[in-house]
Amino acid sequence: MMLFVDKHAVHAPAVFGTAVEAQRRTRGLQGVGPGTDSRTLWDRLDGETRRMVLDKLLREQGHLCVYCERTIGTGRSRLGAHVEHFLPRHPSRDEYPGLTWADGRDDLPPAEADAASVDYANLFAVCSNETGRDGLPLTCDKLRGSHRMALDPRDRKALRRLSYKRSGRVEPADPDDETVWDDIGRGEGDTGLLNLNARHLCNARRAAIARLMKLLMSAGDGRAVDTACEREIRNLLAERDPKEPFIEAKLYILTRRESMRAKYSDAYPA
């Protein structure tokens, strides 16, 4: 389960760009720059600017975590939210050897990471994952840290490598795709980078899918089910905030129906 985010359809707030440029000028006056500053441009931004960016990301994502697709950052959700950098602000040389590293200075963010720290296309809203206080395992970016991922929420083709089960599990479309397993984890001790098959996530996903199936089955015969299925797909694809939790899992299940697969192959490639 991972939310697709079309970054081509959104733009950074103008205030964000202004604040970034101000920090670039300040850093220049201080005699430091990309690859020589221990702080990225994002680290230098004030809290108000960061909160404004987070608020816009949340609205664009329908207040869903980009990784687990739970509701975040609303008054009704117990999960808070913060900004995730897909290319980490402070990556490791071992996992990102192709970046421009200063000789012998692994503590200095490479120039590419510095630029990406304020690249709006690199930013997502994710859950604060406060589950550790409830005795639940960590998931999403709190577990991932700065490790490199294979799956990219901006790439629909990459997300086609995922499949969703009525049991609530998320698995690779190709069971032998170890890079996907490495990202999502198999569950029961195998967390991968995101632990998306943690028991509490599988239970929540299974319950959401079960409610969806009950709604469809109550529609009646095959044609009525098709109508109900199409209505649900349209609702899920609609631009709204907040979006329904586990939207990608629901769309996957709905578009498995033969009558829906061809009709919505462009709107929701499967």
Give the predicted TM-score (pTM) of the model.
Answer: 0.93
Tens digit of each residue's pLDDT (9 = 90 or more) over 201-217: 999 999 999 999 999 98
Angle between helices 247-254 and 222-237 (to 10 degrees): 150
Worst-scoring range by mean pLDDT, 85-94, 134-143, 147-156, 184-193?
Answer: 134-143
- Give the pLDDT of residue 110: 95
Q: Look at residue 270 in the predicted model and tell me its pLDDT.
A: 44
* H helices present in 165-198, as ranges: 178-184
Expressed in angstroms, the distance from the first to the final Cα of the chain is 14
Distance, CA of 50 to CA of 244 (rounded, Å):
25
Residue pLDDT, tens place only, 216-257: 989 888 789 999 999 999 999 888 899 999 999 999 999 988
Non-local CB neighbours of 176 within 8 Å, separated by 6+ positions: none
Distance CA 134, CA 236 (A): 31
